């Protein structure tokens, strides 16, 4: 107890940067408001309206892969392994990986993510992890923009969480000088609105042209014609067209039946849709073949796209690594383990590992051949 109190009292105070504006004065300790609720609802609606965006984010979360915790002390390794495997995440999941997946999902969708560590009764470890809804919290700047403060909302306003050491907050693509994160979907609302208009027009056109409507025209050619005759023709046509079985329409006189809109052609939307989807795929950074899009691409181009995706995943991993280290470090310290540890992410996929192994094998064979024929001495000379 005394050690914890001494550690809390000796907590380092963050310095104030010289380029910080006047709004970060002591009179305004919690400034620089973050993302609005309307902006988050827009991104949520975007995922629901455009399936390819939701599929891309889901694939990024799954491709992030798992991770391992390697402790320096052998006695602390079982504690870390059990915690990563069995810690309760939210209400229905278990394992640190389940919490991290939900954390990454919020981070990609909204550009911000907030979580909380819950301690057991004896405060000897973290017993559960909770992914907070961004509609219930606000990320603010403290006395300095270098310090993030998570505030909880209530009817009368908001206030900082009592224990900030147990709260997690991450920002993606943080804007300089602010505590605002930028969503991966930023820039897509306008493009997606065009795509949705095209799809909506296709829907309306198929409702008009797909459900065939007929125009029945009767030309009496001098014969007596009355309103009653027109009503009889219309009634007989309705019976013929709405009959459950094959039924003929019999009429007297010159009667012509034409399909309404048969002369017009459906507009070709494949080119504009492809152009818009190219913009969406470029923003999300997912290769088209992973989303089921069969665009023409060579094997070399697919390999380069996979390499670009690997670098993107490495960036997202670096964004959530501080939060994972804070969770594991807090649990180990509360459990009585003060050793350091390493966070090792799994390979992105098996294909990358196979290619690296094949490259090492080829290099080893080349070195062996050079050694057998004495080429190594010739190159050194």
pLDDT of 21: 63
Nearest to 202 by CA among 262, 260, 259, 273: 273
Supply the pLDDT for residue 330. 93
DSSP 344-368: EEPPS-HHHHHHHHHHHHHHHHHHH
User: What's the token pair of residue 183?
Assistant: 């969503």
Cβ atoms 314, 307 nearer than 8 A: no
- Residue 209 makes CB contacts below 8 A (sequence gap 6+) with 261, 264, 266
Handedness of CA 271, 277, 283, 288 (dihedral sign): negative
> pLDDT, tens digit, for every residue of 233-246?
777 777 777 767 77
- CA 281, 285, 286, 288 dihedral sign is positive
Q: d(Cα 97, Cα 65) in Å, to the nearest integer?
A: 9
Sheet holding 126-131, edge to edge: 93-94, 88-89, 126-131, 112-119, 167-171
- If we measure between CA atoms, which residue out of 148, 138, 139, 113 comes closest to residue 14? 148
Cα→Cα distances 93→83, 131, 134, 349, Å: 13, 11, 20, 24
Residue where the block lists tokens 């034409």: 258
Segments of the chain with pLDDT less than 70:
1-18, 20-34, 210-211, 221-226, 243, 250-253, 261-264, 296-306, 349-358, 375-381
What pTM does this model have?
0.75
Judge contact between 130 and 93, C-beta under 8 A. no
User: What local confidence, expressed as pLDDT, does residue 29 receive?
Assistant: 47
């Amino acid at each position: 107890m005394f050690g914890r109190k001494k550690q809390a009292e000796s907590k380092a105070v963050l310095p104030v940067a010289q380029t910080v504006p006047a709004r970060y004065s002591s009179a305004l300790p919690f400034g620089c408001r973050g993302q609005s609720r309307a902006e988050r609802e827009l991104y949520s609606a975007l995922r629901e309206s455009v399936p390819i965006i939701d599929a891309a984010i889901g694939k990024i979360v799954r491709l992030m892969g798992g991770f391992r915790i390697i402790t320096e002390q052998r006695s602390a390794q079982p504690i870390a392994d059990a915690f990563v495997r069995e810690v309760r995440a939210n209400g229905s999941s278990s394992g640190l990986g389940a919490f991290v997946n939900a954390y990454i999902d919020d981070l990609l969708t909204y550009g911000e993510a907030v979580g909380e560590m819950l301690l057991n009764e004896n405060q000897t470890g973290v017993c559960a992890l909770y992914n907070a809804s961004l509609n219930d919290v606000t990320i603010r700047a403290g006395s300095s923009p270098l310090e993030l403060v998570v505030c909880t909302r209530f009817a009368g306003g908001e206030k900082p969480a009592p224990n900030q050491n147990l709260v997690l907050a991450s920002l993606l693509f943080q804007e300089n000088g602010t505590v605002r994160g930028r969503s991966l979907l930023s820039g897509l609302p306008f493009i997606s609105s065009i795509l949705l208009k095209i799809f909506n027009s296709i829907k309306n056109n198929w409702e008009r042209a797909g459900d065939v409507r007929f125009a029945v025209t009767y030309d009496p050619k001098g014969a007596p014609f009355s309103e009653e005759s027109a009503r009889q023709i219309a009634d007989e046509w309705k019976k013929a067209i709405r009959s459950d079985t094959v039924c003929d329409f019999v009429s007297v006189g010159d009667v012509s039946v034409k399909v309404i809109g048969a002369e017009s052609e459906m507009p070709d939307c494949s080119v504009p849709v492809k152009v818009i989807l190219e913009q969406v795929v470029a923003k999300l950074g997912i290769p088209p073949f992973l989303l089921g899009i069969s665009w023409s691409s060579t094997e070399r181009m697919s390999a380069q796209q996979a390499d670009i995706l690997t670098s993107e995943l490495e960036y997202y991993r670096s964004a959530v690594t501080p939060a994972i280290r804070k969770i594991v470090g807090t649990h180990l310290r509360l459990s009585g383990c003060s050793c350091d540890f390493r966070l090792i992410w799994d390979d992105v996929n098996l294909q990358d590992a196979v290619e690296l192994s094949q490259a090492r094998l080829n290099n080893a064979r080349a070195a062996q051949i050079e050694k057998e024929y004495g080429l190594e001495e010739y190159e050194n000379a």
